[in-house]
Amino acid sequence: MNRFGRSSLGGGPSTTNSNARIATMPGRLPVPATPVRPLAAATANLGLNSDRQRAVMVQRLRNQGIQDERILNAMLTVPRHVFVDEGLASRAYEDAALPIGYGQTISQPWVVARMIAALCEERMPTRVLEVGAGCGYQAAVLAQLVKEVYAIERIRGLYDMARFHLRTLRLAARVRLSFGDGMAGLPSSAPFDGIIVAAAGIKIPASLLEQLAIGGRLIAPEGGATQRLVLIERTGPATWRRQELESVRFVPLRAGTQS
């Protein structure tokens, strides 16, 4: 196996509970029909217990094969319970996707760590685009590692939620958040030396591949009913190298915006 396969970062848990629609997963909570309100005082809700739970989460990630201490420290720093509804705060550090409203979820911690680890292995990108910011959690983790983080979200309510959470944690200046069509990327800010896509398309959009700098990497889920993480590295002006990683399950990648 090569450096981006299971040999380096481990197979991890079953990813049927990754960034999927909760309603399709037996035993999970249903997706709320109404938007989930942001958690205004979340950092006070769990108190010191959240620090302990976050440490347990990080140790679990280490046991699951995430070995990059930079990423583990970033996951330890960002309070995941801030990004979920108050009623789900006690579950924030489980290795599970949780509903955030609008039929969307916050990805399970292992998926977040795995995707960032693949992007950053043996390097550290300085300019990263996240497609599908959701509630802002993955962008907040990236902001602990990457100098320039750009994030785009197509659902207005989630864009507002992500902006609120990033401001609450004083990360708004470190994450350049945009409301728009993620499939189109951000051509005005390209090229990026890293792109993370947090929703699954049948194919990786060509517009995103074109916004990748030479030597840059893109990681995204690809497929329909069956999905895999795909890592693509741009090797020249018109050449890309592709590698398939673990099986995952994400919400669909959609074009356009939703107000």
- Decide which of 95 and 49 is more confident: 95
CB 145 within 8 A of CB 76: no
Question: What are the residue numbers of the active site?
Answer: 107
User: Residue 50 has what pLDDT?
Assistant: 87
CA 20, CA 98: separation in Å to the nearest integer?
Answer: 9
pLDDT at 8 over 80: no
pLDDT, the chain, mean: 86
In this prediction, residue 46 carries a pLDDT of 53
pLDDT, residue 49, reads 77
pLDDT reading at 24 higher than 60: no
User: Looking at the predicted structure, is the pLDDT value of residue 160 above 60?
Assistant: yes
Please determine, for residue 161, whether its predicted confidence score (pLDDT) is greater than 80: yes
At 151 the three-state DSSP class reads strand
Predicted local confidence at residue 252, as pLDDT: 94
Specify the pLDDT at position 16. 39
Is residue 38 over pLDDT 90?
no
pLDDT in tens, 83-104: 999 999 999 999 999 999 999 9
pLDDT tens across 188-216, in order?
Answer: 999 999 999 999 999 999 999 999 999 99
Residue type, 91: R
pLDDT in tens, 215-252: 999 999 999 999 999 999 999 999 999 999 999 999 99
* pLDDT for position 5: 38
> Residue 19: its pLDDT value, please?
54
Which of 240, 233, 253, 104 shows the shortest CA–CA distance to 185? 253
The predicted-structure confidence for 141-151, as pLDDT tens digits, reads as follows 999 999 999 99
Whether the predicted pLDDT of 128 surpasses 60:
yes
Cα separation of 248 and 250, whole Å? 7
- Contact (Cβ atoms closer than 8 angstroms) between residue 81 and residue 42: yes
Label residue 30 by pLDDT band (50, 70, 90): very low
Of 197, 210, 202, 208, the closest CA to residue 238 belongs to: 210
pLDDT value for 32: 36
214 φ, ψ to 5°? -60, 130
Q: In whole angstroms, how far apart are CA 158 and each of 133, 173, 191, 192, 197?
A: 8, 18, 25, 23, 16
